[in-house]
Amino acid sequence: MSLAKTPDEVVSVQNLLESARQYQSAREEMEQEQQGAPAIQSSVSEMQSVQATSAVARSATPNEPHGPRRGMKGTIRNLHCSQPAILELTVEGDGKTLSLHSNNYFKIQFSALGFTPAGELHPCTDLEGMKARVEFFEAAGKSVEGQISFIELSK
């Protein structure tokens, strides 16, 4: 945190710290659950977990955002969510409209500039009509123009 020089860097560090806290909490919870199980069951669970993680990593890698990174300021419109955690929206600003999406809105980094959101942020309901700076990876040859990586909300 002491190395962050701009407000954007501070927000990024805060988001990363929160993600690390959530990961640590989930890991501690999993370890507590495993302590009560017999050793054989624990080994089987660990093996299944490793296999599942490997399968998810292999299947998730092609869907990870990549390509040139861009950004746009504007108003979020036409918000639509679908299962499992897909988010689609448009950003309208400066006479342009961009169609953007995320295959997993839990992986989007959110921040707020100039205000503190009240309570927990629900991307599928709280973003419609908000002013924001949205960063995304360009999507080549797709029906949308980019994959969302970061949303900074402002009043």
Percentage with pLDDT > 90 across the chain: 21
The mean predicted confidence, pLDDT, of the chain is 77
Query: How much is the average pLDDT of 141-145?
Result: 67
More confident residue, 142 or 12: 12
Among the residue ranges 20-24, 63-67, 111-115, 140-144, the one predicted with the least confidence is: 63-67
Q: Annotate 16-41 with b (16+ C-beta within 10 A) or e (fewer).
A: eeeeeeeeeeeeeeeeeeeeeeeeee
Angle at alpha carbon of residue 151, lines to 148 and 155, rounded to 5°:
150
Residue 75 neighbours by CB distance under 10 Å: 14
Give the pLDDT mean for 8-15. 82
124, pLDDT greater than 50: yes
Q: How confident is the model at residue 47 (pLDDT cuts 50, 70, 90)?
A: very low
Residue 27's pLDDT is 77
